[in-house]
Amino acid sequence: MDRLAAMSVFVAVVAAGSFSGGARELRMPVPTVSRKIAELEAQLGARLLTRSTRKLALTEAGADYLAACKRILEEVAVAERGAAGEHQAPRGELALTAPIVLGRLHVLPLLAEFLALYPQINAQLRLADRSLRLLDEHLDLAVRVGELPDSALVALRVASLREVVCASPAYLARHGTPGNPQDLARHDCVSFAGPAGEAGWSFGTARAQRSVPLRTRLIVNTAEAAVDAAIAGVGLTRVLSYQVAAAVTSGALALVLRKFEPAPIPVSLVYNRQPLLPAKLRAFLDFAAPRLRARLA
């Protein structure tokens, strides 16, 4: 039995949550996947997975073995990349993820420039407004917005974003400009979050932070829609500074309540800690970090 191949099958099955999902990911027949897992368990003398009609679950031994498999497979991949010269010349496929709007407005243009400079690198950009796990999703890098929990990942902070309240000049001319957060109770607001919208917006920092209620006229599920509604004069909305920068610059929107803004939100480039960074990843970090700082300043 090829032990490394069996480890790869095991990791893929756990990531997919099923034998069929793992088989699709590996482009391998389901019976072959099932056999390889059975052979691996027989070789180890331990049950790694409990199976039911609905889902798979890791046993305690399986959870420990999964962590070891991921570490071993990553070390093997690092060794193979080094032997192939990837650490000397940037080449190969670079897989990264970013939030949808930030990725479209800022990461994608930088990635296009980067690919023009490095013809031996291909890239995959996955835009999602949720945090994808780098190892499980086979990603090299993530652009993350927000405070990051302690982890084994390396985070390179590149910028800070502000949460800003804005409205169209026409709306402010009709309804007046709020002088403090409490005035929002008398204004029409556009909120976005979930089906119930936002109960309130928080202002201030640390212990001085407080939430104020909103009079929501419109609920949307994307920041872009909230910005468009504010430009149309529906009411005040709150978004991240980069999402509204172009509209503010053009005069389509005006910022209000600037002195009450909460603490800035960090933007970081996040990647797995490893003994030696692949040249493709090091090249992108060196290229993208200063340019993202400039774009998001």
Which CATH number is correct for 163-260, 3.40.630.10, 3.10.560.10, 3.40.190.10, 3.40.50.300? Answer: 3.40.190.10
Which CATH number is correct for 92-161+265-296, 3.40.50.300, 3.40.190.10, 3.40.50.720, 3.90.1150.110? Answer: 3.40.190.10
Q: How far apart are CA 263 and CA 277, in angstroms?
A: 33
Pairing label, strands 49-51, 56-58: antiparallel
Spatial CA neighbour of 269 closest among 143, 159, 109:
143
Cα radius of gyration (the chain): 24
Residue for token digits 């640390």? Answer: 206
Q: How far apart are CA 180 and CA 34, in angstroms?
A: 63
Architecture of domain 3-83: Orthogonal Bundle (1.10)
Q: Is 147 helix (H, G, I), strand (E, B) or coil?
A: coil
Confidence at residue 195, expressed as pLDDT on a 0 to 100 scale: 46
Q: Do domains 3-83 and 163-260 have the same CATH topology?
A: no
Q: In the Cβ-directed half-sphere of 173, how many Cα atoms lie within 13 Å?
A: 5
Instruction: Give the number of other Cβ atoms within 10 Å of residue 76's Cβ.
Output: 13
Q: Is 189 helix (H, G, I), strand (E, B) or coil?
A: strand
Q: Parse the chain into domains and list their residue ranges.
A: 3-83, 92-161+265-296, 163-260
Q: How far apart are CA 29 and CA 27, in angstroms?
A: 7
SS3 per-residue string spanning 213-240: ECEEEEEECCHHHHHHHHHCCCCEEEEE
Query: Which residues, listed in sequence order, are joined to residue 225 by a DSSP beta bridge?
Result: none
Is the Cα torsion angle 161, 163, 169, 173 positive or negative in sign?
negative
Regions of the chain short of the pLDDT cut 70: 1, 52-54, 81-82, 84-88, 150-151, 193-199, 206-207, 275
Q: Residues 23, 85: contact at Cβ < 8 Å?
A: no
Pairing label, strands 200-203, 210-213: antiparallel
